[in-house]
Structures are given as C-alpha cells and as structure tokens.
Structure 1
Amino acid sequence: MARTRNVSAASRSVQPELRATGLHVSPEEQCLLLLRDHRSLTASAIASRTDLSRPTIDAALRSLETAKIVTSDLRPTGKAGRPGRTYTFVPSDRMVGVDIGEHAIRAIATDRAGRILARYEADRVREPSRDTFLRDLDDVVRIVGEGASIAGVGLAVPGIVKAQKVKLSRVLPYLNDWDFHREIESLINVPLFVSNDVKAAALGEARLGAGTVDSSQVTVWLGRRVSSAVTFNGELFEGANGVAGEMTTAVGTQWTPGSVCGDWQWPSGRSPLQTAERAHAGDAECLASLHDYLKALADPLSRLVAILDPEVLVLAGALSETSAPLADFLAPYLKERLTVPFLPRIRRSAHGRYSTAVGALYTAFTNPSAPALAHWQLPAPTTLTENDPATERADHPSHALAS
C-alpha cells in the first residue's frame, strides 16, 4: 500500500513562496527555505513538510553540504537508538539596507535568513556633496559588513525615484541628474538597488513589519518631515513617475499649516519624539502641541484615506517610537473628517525610525542582480529576527535622530 504523507498548512506554503520568484523550484531550494525558516531540521522533519521523497531529500542535502550552505551534525533525539542527523542553514554572507537622509544615516545588516547582525545610526557631519555622499555610504557598508562578504545593498534616499534614478530631490539636491548607481556599485563592489526613503519604509512595514502582505496599506512617515506611500498586497504603488501617495505634490496641499513637508514648531525646540514622550509623561504644553500636530495631519491624510480606502494605516518614523498612544489620538481626528464610518486599522510601525533601512534591506534581497546561493535561489525572508545575544556582534549605537 502506498504511504500517505501528511503536509501541514505551514509546509504547504513552501512551494508557493518559491514559485513567486518565477523560477523552477528545485528540491535543494525547498530544503533551503525550510532550513532558513526553522534553522535546523532532520531529513525526516523536512520530509514531513514537503512532498519530496526521502532519497530526493538526502541527495539535495548532500548537494547543499558540498556547497557549504548547510552543515550537519548528530544530535540526541530524546528517544532510544542512535542520534539523529540534523541539518543547519549557515548563511555566510550579508544583506545590507541603508537609509541616507539630510541629517542622519541608518543601516541594518542581516544574514540570508533575516537574522539581524548589525545596526548603525549616526549624524551626517560632512559638508553635503556628491563626494561625501559616496564616502558616507562606503563607510556605513563597511561598518555593518564587519568584514563579512556582502551579497547585496539596498539604498533609500529622499526624493522622487523611478527606475533606480533620482528624478528630483529637494532634500539632497546634489543627487539630481546624477546617475550614481553604477558609480556606487563600482565603489562597494556589490549589487545595489536604489529607492525612495518613504516608499522603502512602506515596503519594509508591508513585508517585514506592522503591515500585512495581503492588504492595502498607507504608510505615513512622522519625523522632521512628513510623507506617505502606498502598498497593495505587499507591492509598492509608485505611479507613472514615482510620486503616487505623495499628497503634497498637488498645489494647495500641505501636511501642516504653512509647510508642504510637515515642519512643525515643537515646544522649546524639542524633537517630535521628545515632545511625545513628555506629553505621555503629563506635560500639558507638549500634549497640546502633539494633538495640534495630529489634527493638522488629519486633513491631508483623511483625503488620502478617502481616495484609497486602505485596510491598514501604518505610523512610521521616529515619532512612532513614542510611548504615547498615537493611534488612539489620531483616530478621532480622521473620523470627524470622513463622511463614512469606516477607518483603516491604525498601527504603530514595527521598526520605527529604522523602517526605511528595513525596506532598503528588502530591496537588496529582491534585487534581480543579487547573487544566488551557489546554484540556488532563495526568496527574501518574511520576518526579521534578532540574533542570539550570546553570539550577537557589538552594535554601533548613537543617539536617535528623526530625519
């Protein structure tokens, strides 16, 4: 009688995830995906999660071991008999996401399994120019790379970006009319993908954060400036010229009174996050300023919500890191500006001020130019995890900034 194999719902997602790449799915790739997401499995555990035969799995694992992508060792099974052979995914190279703004630079590095290995944040102190932009990028890639092999870099910058070229940046005007993509790839010697900073944040939250892949989502960035971006089913909606979701590209619209970019005078010159934290602690002046700010944002944001009717509204940026209940504060201001009783689910960003770097990281994984693992393709991870504290490398902290 033929043996029947039970396949769990989680395991049935293996093949669709790989098929989304549009490439032939090999047994090695199926094993890789399972080992990436579970860290270590026996061949029997892999067999229980796929429709592959045991001989096929054994052959695939031998190939992966030969390529030094997978290691194996004998471990006790907790049952009588010999120890079982366990296979572990050992990603040796890194993926890097970089967010370069006017005032700050942030970066995050992970392995191919999405385990966070390094973060970096610092002021940008050099005189703004094309040369210092290249130097800042080269420096941060080397810092978070920590001497390891880097397979890909995603770079997010402020401005209108289409087809990896900056069409217009008012924040970093020296990027305008500069075809820097090849120059940077030559400098860092790895594949590069360039995107807009807020759109990268939206992608990072949709794919690896507070959003969900199977939803419509508006992400609004709350920092020194305000901006928004739209994703549908985990994919960016950029429009013909890369400006979709940017409410203030229309004359007469502005995020806050007198400011297209959403500049706001916070009490005593504090940052948005400092103000919100003081508001949460009971400072009446800061609380009033925070509410006035959210009321102002609700005007243009309600129009965007009315046009798109998104399922999810994600609040990202430095301000989203506050302990204050921003979603609870914002919801009534949106509701009173809409003529229908429907609001999106308002969620706090999962990555705060690092959302843009996380989105840039995701583009490094999905860049068609990113190298395969030996002969095999591996999709981008669906989650990011902190590395084991016992083995985690030293972080590179600096004070928090809102760009």
Structure 2
Amino acid sequence: MTATRDRSGRTATPRMARVINDRLALELLQRDGPLTAAQLRVLTGLSRPSVADLVERLQDAGLIAVVGEAGAERRGPNARLYGIVADRAYLAAVDVRTHRVAIEVADLLGRAVGSAALPVDPCSDPRRTVSRSVVLLERTAHDAGVAELHTIAVGAPGLVVPATGELSPSGALPAWHSALVTTLRKRFGVPVLLENEVNLAAVAEQRLGAVPDKDTFVLLWLGHGVGAAVILDGRLRRGASGGAGEIGFLPVPGTWQLPTATGCEGGFHSLASSGAVCALAREHGLPVAGDDAPAAEAVVGAARTAGKRGELFLDALAARIAVGAAAVCAVLDPGCVVLAGEVGRAGGDTLAERVGDRLARMSPLRTEVRAGKVGGSAVLRGAVLSAMDAAQEVLFSPGG
C-alpha cells in the first residue's frame, strides 16, 4: 500500500497516518454513511487489518457505533453497518435579525432536534431582548433533551471583523446583536462562532442547495436589505474589514444620490431592497401589502402568474438586479450568481432567467444565474453547518 502522506506531501509517521485515516473514515461516514467495513476499505484504499483497527479505535473513542446490518440478500452473516454517533455532541444555530431571533438545535450530523423563534420589537428594552433570546435557546435545548451544547453559531447582519470575530459597531444595526453574542459566550461557556448572515446562506446553498457543483460563485441576498457573499476557490472571502459583499453601498445608476459611509440609501440598496421592490410593484399596478421583506416576497411570487403586468414588473426588477450583478461580476468574474433571500427565492427560476438574460447583454463575462434552493431557513442551515464543522474539527481530532 502506498505510504500515507500529510497535507504537505511528507510521509506521515505511523501515529499521524492513523490520525489521517481516522479523519478520512469519519468524513466518509458523515457524507456517505452508514458504511460497512468492506465499503470503508474500498473508499479509503486501506487494507482489511488497517480498517479493522480504525473501526475499533473510533468505536472506543465513542465516535462511531454499529447502527444496523447490510447484505441480507447474500449468503453468510450480515455485515455490520457503522455510523457516526450523532448524539455525541449537540449544536445550536441562532439567526439574529432586527425583528426576530430564530433558533435551531441539531445533533453532530446537523439534524435538527428542536427549533423556536422569537418576534422582536425594535423599540423594546435591548437587555430584555437579549435575556429572552438566551432563555429561548436554553428552553429549546432542554425540550429536545439536550443537556449541554458543544458549539453555537450565530448569523447576524453587518460586518464581522476578521481580526476579532466581533460585529463592527454600526448605527444602522441594533446594539443588542453584539450583546447577545457576548451573553451567549458567558452563559454557555462554549465556542460561539459569529458570521455574517449572508455568508451563512452561501454556505447552505453550496452544501445543500443551488451550487453543490461550484467552488466559485457569488450569492446575492435580496430581502429587507441587500448583500452578497463571495466564495472563491472554495473559500469564503470576507475582505480586510469583513465588508466583502456589502453591495447595498454599491453606487449604481438609477438612484437619486450616492450612498454615504453611514447609509446605503442611493446605492444598490435603493434599487433592490424590499422597500424598493414593493415601490416598483406599485408602479406596475400590482397590489402590495407593505414594504417589508414578506410583502416583497409575496408580490414577486404573485407576479409570476399575474399576466402582462407581472411580466413587465419582473422584467424591470431583473434589470435592476442585473445592474448590481454586473458590477460584481466585472470585479470578481465568479461565473455563477445565486439569487437568494426572500425576493430571490420567490422569483425562482423565472426571475433568475430574466436576470441572466440581462446580465449577458451587459457583461462580456459568461455568468450563470441560478435561483437559491434552500428555503427560508438558509441562514440557520448555514449556521448549523458551520457549528457542525467546528465541532467535528475538535471531536474528530486526536484527544477530541
């Protein structure tokens, strides 16, 4: 058998080889499991004795267990099926918005075991909002039978400073967002990861949704506000200050002023935010029940079957979105743009095709436009995946 090598290409020591092989087996069991020992031999290329030792080590560590049998159709004893012990650790995801906090508790394989949501009045006492959010997470975990959380991931709007992992202070966002993260760290005493919510949506779309075949793409979030997540060569790119993708501030034609350092009015936000989408719908004679993201989602969804007026509205909306997409593509050339958020999800393939057509007329760069596939829980799903990856990095490592 070819000697196992580490990531630098050097021949690994026997101990390091075991670590590499164990991690490979765990990754295969997570992705393709449950698996038999024979299947692990085929997928890893290891010998029968090596796989037998590997399975024993992982069972002794409490990371895998026999979860069933395979091969009932053949003669002889059935083969044991091994799977990751999903209840070895539990995770929590928290989606923080101006008007709502959503929570999901999941096992080590990312399978949800509990969820809850809390409406937030922006005028309420921030300290009370933080306290109620923490209590809700504790109650959700308790009701799911979870005594202890291993890792918590939080998605929030705004800039997450790469050097500190903290939210950048901004007068446009509630101060209680940062206070909640700080309180979660103190109350639970476990790793609390913080990420921009649009970045988490991109993680979900790449792993579970529209772009599993792409390692380079840009996700445009079209909801109450607008934003982007940049994935280049399989890596999430945050920028020097965490501001990569803040396209609400992107100066674009068709607005009445330029954005400022303290406000994105006049930028791409003024063309594609929920308020702008609802105003555009009214201009086309479509009934709209407000100016928030749910209203924009409803009118875009209804426009797909609203006849000529709906078609003209979607054409006009696609032209606006294409302006922002063209600017992003001119700089990054991602080859693929995903339309997500309430508006992108409601528009589906109908809106994506229209944006793609207009983008092709505006840009010489060949760019595919796809509709997001992960539902309204994209941020939570991305947070669960991030927490799962972080927990597995610890538990699947020696001594974890």
TM-score scaled by length of structure 1: 0.76
Q: Distance in 2 between matches of 1:367 and 1:75?
A: 31
1:263-278 mapped onto 2 (5 Å cutoff): 263-264=275-276, 265=279, 266=281, 267-270=287-290, 271-278=295-302
Task: Give the structure 1 partner of residue 126 of structure 2.
Answer: 129
Letter in 1 for 2:156: V
Contact 1:317 1:354 in 2 (8 A): no
1:40-96 Cα distance to aligned partner (Å, 9 max, x none): 222222112223222222222223223333222555542222233332322102233
Q: Distance in 1 between matches of 2:392 and 2:171?
A: 29
Seen in structure 2, the aligned counterparts of structure 1 residues 275 and 306 have a Cα distance that, compared at 3 Å, is same
Q: Distance in 1 between matches of 2:315 and 2:272?
A: 19
Contact 1:205 1:349 in 2 (8 A): yes
1:143 pairs, out of 126, 133, 140, with: 140
Letter in 2 for 1:172: L
Contact 1:156 1:356 in 2 (8 A): yes
Q: Distance in 2 between matches of 1:300 and 1:30?
A: 41
1:127-171 Cα distance to aligned partner (Å, 9 max, x none): 251441353254146426722243211101111111321113444
Letter in 2 for 1:272: A
Contact 1:314 1:346 in 2 (8 A): yes
Task: Give the structure 2 partner of residue 68 of structure 1.
Answer: 62
Matched, 1:321 2:345: yes
Matched, 1:79 2:91: no
Matched, 1:98 2:94: yes
Task: Give the structure 2 partner of residue 279 of structure 1.
Answer: 303
Using the TM superposition, give the Cα deviation of residue 359 of structure 1 relative to its aligned residue in structure 2, in angstroms: 2.3
Contact 1:204 1:358 in 2 (8 A): yes
RMSD (CA atoms): 3.4
Task: Give the structure 1 partner of residue 185 of structure 2.
Answer: 185
Using the TM superposition, give the Cα deviation of residue 307 of structure 1 relative to its aligned residue in structure 2, in angstroms: 1.5
**Could you say what secondary structure the match of 1:215 adopts?**
coil
Q: Distance in 1 between matches of 2:385 and 2:394?
A: 14
- The number of equivalent residue pairs is 358
Contact 1:275 1:286 in 2 (8 A): no
Letter in 1 for 2:358: Y
Task: Give the structure 2 partner of residue 173 of structure 1.
Answer: 174
Which piece of structure 1 moves more, 260-269 or 86-95? 260-269
Seen in structure 2, the aligned counterparts of structure 1 residues 85 and 346 have a Cα distance that, compared at 3 Å, is same
Contact 2:248 2:268 in 1 (8 A): no
Letter in 2 for 1:78: E
Contact 1:256 1:262 in 2 (8 A): no
Which piece of structure 1 moves more, 91-100 or 114-123? 114-123
Letter in 1 for 2:233: N
Task: Give the structure 1 partner of residue 360 of structure 2.
Answer: 335
Contact 2:225 2:248 in 1 (8 A): no
Unaligned runs of 5+ in 1: 6-11, 378-403
Unaligned runs of 5+ in 2: 11-15, 252-257, 260-265, 282-286
Task: Give the structure 2 partner of residue 304 of structure 1.
Answer: 328
Contact 1:256 1:293 in 2 (8 A): no
Seen in structure 2, the aligned counterparts of structure 1 residues 182 and 95 have a Cα distance that, compared at 3 Å, is same
Seen in structure 2, the aligned counterparts of structure 1 residues 108 and 283 have a Cα distance that, compared at 3 Å, is farther
Letter in 1 for 2:167: V
Seen in structure 2, the aligned counterparts of structure 1 residues 284 and 125 have a Cα distance that, compared at 3 Å, is farther
Richer in helix (by share): 2
Task: Give the structure 2 partner of residue 344 of structure 1.
Answer: 367
Q: Distance in 2 between matches of 1:237 and 1:134?
A: 33
Question: Which of 1 and 2 has higher RCO (CA within 8 Å, sep 6+)?
Answer: 1
Task: Give the structure 1 partner of residue 156 of structure 2.
Answer: 157
Task: Give the structure 2 partner of residue 395 of structure 1.
Answer: none
TM-score scaled by length of structure 2: 0.77
Contact 2:229 2:244 in 1 (8 A): yes
Contact 1:106 1:354 in 2 (8 A): no
Seen in structure 2, the aligned counterparts of structure 1 residues 362 and 213 have a Cα distance that, compared at 3 Å, is farther
Q: Distance in 1 between matches of 2:352 and 2:200?
A: 22
Q: Distance in 2 between matches of 1:128 and 1:359?
A: 29
Q: Distance in 2 between matches of 1:333 and 1:212?
A: 25
Seen in structure 2, the aligned counterparts of structure 1 residues 207 and 34 have a Cα distance that, compared at 3 Å, is closer
Task: Give the structure 2 partner of residue 358 of structure 1.
Answer: 381
Q: Distance in 2 between matches of 1:179 and 1:231?
A: 29
